[in-house]
Amino acid sequence: MESRGGPRVLVVGGGIAGLAAAQRLCGHPDIPHPRVLEATARAGGRIRSERSFGGVVEVGAHWIHGPSQGNPVFQLAAKYGLLGEKELSEENQQVEAGGHPGLPSASYASSGASVSLQLVAEMASLFYRLIDRTREFLHSTEPPVPSVGDFLKREIRHQAASWTGDEDAKKLKLAVLNAFFNLECCVSGTHSMDLVALAPFGEYSMLPGLDCTFPGGYQGLTNCMVASLPEDVMVFNKPVKTVHWKGAFQEAALPGETFPVLVECEDGSRFPAHHVIVTVPLGFLKEHLDTFFDPPLPTEKAEAIRKIGFGTNNKIFLEFEEPFWEPDCQIIQVVWEDSSPLEDAAPSLQDAWFKKLIGFLVLPGFESAHVLCGFIAGLESEFMETLSDEEVLRSLTQVLRRVTGNPRLPAPRSVLRSRWHSAPYTRGSYSYVAVGSTGDDLDLLAQPLPADGTHAQLQVLFAGEATHRTFYSTTHGALLSGWREADRLLGLWGLQVGQPRPRM
Ligand SMILES: Cc1cc2nc3c(=O)[nH]c(=O)nc-3n(C[C@H](O)[C@H](O)[C@H](O)COP(=O)(O)OP(=O)(O)OC[C@H]3O[C@@H](n4cnc5c(N)ncnc54)[C@H](O)[C@@H]3O)c2cc1C
């Protein structure tokens, strides 16, 4: 890698955070030659769209959450012409959904009966009222209970004491509530809401706008970002093994020049640099904490990485010859009548993993196929990843036959699913603030190194969704974190952000 003067900057990871940082740096002539080292053969990371079933499916990120002017992903997508008229409309941008998913259009119970949508709406209203109430504990140093799950259960127990009606009706209410707990696990990317810390939960911020999708696939966004970079910026199939810092590294081609950072790759290649922006997922960092940094990270930073939560949410797409749902159906909920959020059941993975599946979205936009997208979080989701496609298809066919009460329901034609926990360069889906951690840990993770000011500054910088205190787990949080770190570097070098200086 030849030097053309000016700081040499490397970015590790070509997801939206890494691409955002690279875009910002490449817009600046004084940063001569940034490179993005990406472990896999493609850019986008957890933004991943695949052509399948005669359309596009989102294996990773699905929606722009809060698509309105304050959302940089929305802005960028609009700039690249990737959104339709409806997504761009003022009306869409002004919707305040409060971050709550839409209500199901059909709710099937495990006995084969359908659940009254009025009952579902009542339980949804109770559940989301309680979710909204978690904000009461924002920044509270001594919340009454440690987790969101504990709080929800305490309040539900309280309310259930005054429910009238027979035992079966009460049991059904709890079973419907359990389905909302499972849904919230998907939203938070966690095994259980008992793992999600109560006090910081309300720090996650919602933007206005009705969540929308990319008609041509989310990955169109990261593809456009890559296309905007000079050709040799992206280096694919370059898994980084260790980031050496606080060093004095040299390069044969540049005798006399020393670099404080050396990025060593799995294939043995070594890249000296002044600065490296690390954007690898928190799941990868957790797994490789002991070997990824040399010298190791300061204790508090390593502790923050251990403490912040990072769980699994997966999607299972099922393709049907003919729909068994009504034409206007958008969301199908599945309710297991023997389940209750008030009973702690150890997960029975082998026999009952599918009970964690929350139901399905009916996907629009396929030519001749009819496609459902199921969501499943937690340990059951991770177990599902170990099964074969045939096993998943067989189990879900049985589930659908049971809940629709139709033992002859034709099996899906094919299945496609994500496996984010097994993905070696991700190891899960997204982060959450776990019991035992706070928003300060996300800020701590975002702090550059070294922290002491005695060495060359900003050797290792950190971006990625887990480093954004209020927008963690989202694409816009990741994008903003990439810009943040690029701007931090430009600031160090006294370069004006967003206004490339003309070359003299
Ligand atoms: C199933 C699912 C659904 C989601 N739904 C939504 C949604 O609807 N809306 C939303 O806003 N967000 C959603 N998200 C979250 C969103 O996808 C992420 O927050 C965002 O894409 C993260 O971007 P990132 O750049 O921080 O990380 P990533 O996209 O994970 O990028 C990190 C990159 O680093 C690379 N890498 C890892 N290790 C190394 C290494 N050692 N050397 C070199 N490269 C390495 C990886 O290959 C990857 O390309 C979803 C995520 C999942 C998994």
Q: Using one digit for the tens of pLDDT, what is the confidence trace for 402-446?
A: 999 999 999 999 999 999 999 999 999 999 999 999 999 999 999
Mean pLDDT of 303-327: 97
- Which residue's CA is the closest to the ligand 1 atom numbered 33? 13
Give 151 Cα–ligand 1 centroid separation in angstroms.
Answer: 30
Asked if 275 and 489 touch (Cβ cutoff 8 Å), the reply is yes
Residue 503 predicted with pLDDT over 60:
no
Ligand 1 atom 48 nearest Cα: 45
pLDDT of residue 3: 45
- How far is ligand 1, taken at its centre, from the CA of residue 16, in Å? 7
Q: What is the pLDDT of residue 502?
A: 36
What is residue 441's predicted lDDT score, i.e. its pLDDT? 98
What is the Å distance from ligand 1's center to 286 Cα?
A: 15
- Percent of the chain exceeding pLDDT 90 equals 89
Out of 87, 243, 265, 280, mutate this one to test ligand 1's pocket (max ligand atoms within 8 Å of CB): namely: 280
pLDDT above 60 for 462: yes
11 Cβ closer than 6 Å to some ligand 1 atom: no
**Strands 414-417 and 313-320, sheet pairing:** antiparallel
Task: State the pLDDT confidence band at 497, using cuts at 50, 70 and 90.
Answer: low
288 CA closest ligand 1 atom index: 41
User: How confident is the model at residue 496, as a pLDDT?
Assistant: 61
Residue 498 in this model has a pLDDT that exceeds 60: no
Q: Is 425 in the pocket of ligand 1 (CB under 6 A)?
A: yes
User: Which two three-digit tokens encode residue 279?
Assistant: 């954007």
Tokens (6 digits) for 439: 């928003």
Residue 28 has pLDDT above 60, yes or no: yes
In short, whether 436's Cβ falls inside 6 Å of ligand 1 is no
Burial of 288 (C-beta count, 10 Å sphere; 0-12/13-18/19+): middle
Mean pLDDT of 363-378: 94
C-alpha 337 to ligand 1 mean position (Å): 35
Cα–ligand 1 centroid distance for 15 (angstroms): 6
For ligand 1, atom 1, the nearest C-alpha belongs to 60
Give the pLDDT mean for 189-210: 97
Which of 16, 36, 46, 65 for mutating ligand 1's site (highest number of atoms within 8 Å of CB)?
46
Region 460-486 average pLDDT? 98
Would you state the pLDDT for residue 352? 95
Q: Which of 190, 418, 475 to mutate to test the pocket of ligand 1 (most atoms within 8 A of CB)?
A: 475
Whether ligand 1 lies within 6 angstroms of the CB of 65 is answered as: yes
Rounded average pLDDT over 3-30? 91
pLDDT in tens, 142-156: 999 999 999 999 999
For ligand 1, say whether the CB of 66 is within 6 Å of any of its atoms.
no
Nearest Cα residue to 490 out of 71, 14, 23 = 23
CB 166 within 8 A of CB 113: no
At residue 133's C-alpha, the angle toward residues 130 and 134, to 5°, is 100
- Distance (Å) from CA 173 to ligand 1 centroid: 36
Distance 465 CA to ligand 1 centre (A): 8
225 lines ligand 1 (CB under 6 A): no
Range with the poorest average pLDDT among 211-225, 284-298, 355-369, 385-399 = 355-369
pLDDT category, 367, cuts 50, 70, 90?
Answer: confident
Q: What is the mean pLDDT of the chain?
A: 95
Residue 413 to residue 318: CA distance in whole angstroms: 7
The confidence score (pLDDT) of residue 1 equals: 40
- Where on the phi/psi map is residue 98: left (φ > 0), alpha (ψ -120 to 50), or beta? left
Nearest to 433 by CA among 444, 422, 418, 449: 444
Both tokens assigned to 326: 């009504």
Distance 404 CA to ligand 1 centre (A): 35
> Which residue, chain included where needed, has tokens 């927008």?
471
Q: What percent of the chain has pLDDT over 70?
A: 97
Cα 116 to ligand 1 centroid, rounded to whole Å: 38
Counting from 1 in the atom list of ligand 1, the atom nearest the Cα of 476 is 11
* Angle in degrees, CA 13, 18, 19, rounded to 5: 120
pLDDT value of position 379 = 97
| 292-302 residue pLDDT tens | 999 999 999 99
Ligand 1 contact, 215 CB (< 6 A): no
| 75 vs 486: CA distance, rounded Å | 19
pLDDT digits (tens, 9 = 90+) for 230-286: 999 999 999 999 999 999 999 988 888 999 999 999 999 999 999 999 999 999 999
Q: In the predicted model, is pLDDT for residue 347 greater than 80?
A: no
Q: What is the average per-residue pLDDT within 73-77?
A: 98
Residue 377 Cβ < 6 Å to ligand 1: no
